[in-house]
A = this chain, B = another copy of it.
Amino acid sequence: MTTFADYDGQKPAWCPGCGNFAILNTLKRALVDMDMEPHHFTIVSGIGQGAKLPHYTRCNTFNGLHGRTLPVATGIKLANHDMVVMAVAGDGDCYGEGGNHLLHAIRRNINVTLLVHNNQVYGLTKGQASPTTPQGRVTKTQPFGALSSQLNPMALAISLDCSFVARAFAGASGLPFLKEMIKEAVNHEGFAMIDILQNCVTFNKVNTFHWYKERVYELEEGYDPTDRVEAFRRSLEWGERIPTGIFYKNQRPVCGKDITPLQKGPLVGHDVFSVNLRQESALFY
């Protein structure tokens, strides 16, 4: 059995009061629940505040480039499908710089769990608008307010028929819920995305902890996460009331162990130098 302490990592460099702490701790609790040993999973992250997370726990880590978590995670999962792979990214990381990879990771339906630390702002670079920043918000680089509409990650993922689409809130009330969601996402076969609403005490003075707390609620019991159109409808709710929970799931084919070259087991276990040159050259004679 693993314990919370098994996941002790470096000391976080986050601001006191930052929502990232709650996400980190909840992730650790979920890992304890799943009894997942640190070497059994890999966290891939990009660059941003949230993306520093893997250093603050213990796990195999690929802390790569800003925006490029999902391709790296895809490569890892295809090379070793026995490895549990998670990706951790910020809203800028994942919906801005890395937007194209999100589209295609969803389409590919790789068996990876994506946690988006969505603080609706670029934290590490000090407060510019991110794709989830509400339209019109003024920042130092958006002097006339953000010109673009706020990206709706739930609607986007549902439109792409994402295999598992959820939203959570990194506040005390939401944490047990987030923990269960993470476990379900990790156990889900296919691409699972959880957009986590997270306060940034330093650069987002509007969507504060309390702002979220007053608005978030859980999708009601009986909500049917397999109805794509209904999921889409609910994904459009944002304002006075913000639903959290699993919006949508499906069981579509996974790009993973069933594809031909992986049927003999993870690539990483295959023999390396087993190809016969003469045989492979046959067509050249």
Interface of A with B (CB < 8 Å)?
95-100, 103-104, 107-109, 131, 135, 143-144, 147-152, 155-156, 158-161, 228-229, 232-233, 235-236, 252-253, 255, 259-261
Task: Collect the chain B residues with CB atoms within 8 Å of residue A156's CB.
Answer: 103, 156, 159-160
Task: Enumerate 28 A-B pairs (CB-CB under 8 Å) in ascending A order.
Answer: A95-B103, A96-B104, A99-B100, A99-B103, A100-B100, A107-B148, A107-B149, A107-B151, A108-B148, A109-B148, A109-B149, A143-B260, A144-B261, A147-B259, A149-B161, A151-B160, A152-B159, A152-B160, A152-B161, A155-B160, A156-B156, A156-B159, A159-B159, A159-B232, A159-B235, A228-B236, A229-B236, A232-B232
Task: Collect the chain B residues with CB atoms within 8 Å of residue A109's CB.
Answer: 148-149
Q: A100-B103, A107-B149, A152-B160 are in contact. List 18 more A-B contacts (CB 8 A).
A: A99-B100, A99-B103, A103-B151, A103-B156, A104-B131, A107-B131, A135-B253, A144-B260, A149-B161, A149-B252, A152-B159, A156-B159, A156-B160, A159-B159, A159-B160, A228-B236, A229-B232, A229-B233
Task: Collect the chain B residues with CB atoms within 8 Å of residue A135's CB.
Answer: 253
In the bound assembly, the distance between CA atoms of A158 and B160 in angstroms comes to: 11
In the bound assembly, the distance between CA atoms of A143 and B260 in angstroms comes to: 9
In the bound assembly, the distance between CA atoms of A158 and B232 in angstroms comes to: 10
Task: Collect the chain B residues with CB atoms within 8 Å of residue A144's CB.
Answer: 259-261
Does A155 lie within 8 Å of B148, measured CB to CB? no
Task: Collect the chain B residues with CB atoms within 8 Å of residue A259's CB.
Answer: 144, 147
Task: Collect the chain B residues with CB atoms within 8 Å of residue A252's CB.
Answer: 149
- Quick one: which of A97, A104, A107 has the most chain B CB within 10 A? A107
Task: Collect the chain B residues with CB atoms within 8 Å of residue A151's CB.
Answer: 103, 107, 160
Task: Collect the chain B residues with CB atoms within 8 Å of residue A108's CB.
Answer: 147-148
Task: Collect the chain B residues with CB atoms within 8 Å of residue A155's CB.
Answer: 159-160
Task: Collect the chain B residues with CB atoms within 8 Å of residue A143's CB.
Answer: 260
Task: Collect the chain B residues with CB atoms within 8 Å of residue A235's CB.
Answer: 159
Neighbour of A147 across the interface among B99, B148, B255, CB < 8 A: B255
A258 — nearest CB in chain B belongs to which residue? B144
In the bound assembly, the distance between CA atoms of A156 and B152 in angstroms comes to: 11
A153 — nearest CB in chain B belongs to which residue? B159
Q: How far is the CB of A6 from chain B (nearest CB, A)?
A: 35
Task: Collect the chain B residues with CB atoms within 8 Å of residue A147's CB.
Answer: 108, 255, 259
In the bound assembly, the distance between CA atoms of A143 and B261 in angstroms comes to: 10
Q: How far is the CB of A125 from chain B (nearest CB, A)?
A: 17
Task: Collect the chain B residues with CB atoms within 8 Å of residue A107's CB.
Answer: 131, 148-151
Does A255 lie within 8 Å of B152, measured CB to CB? no
In the bound assembly, the distance between CA atoms of A95 and B236 in angstroms comes to: 23
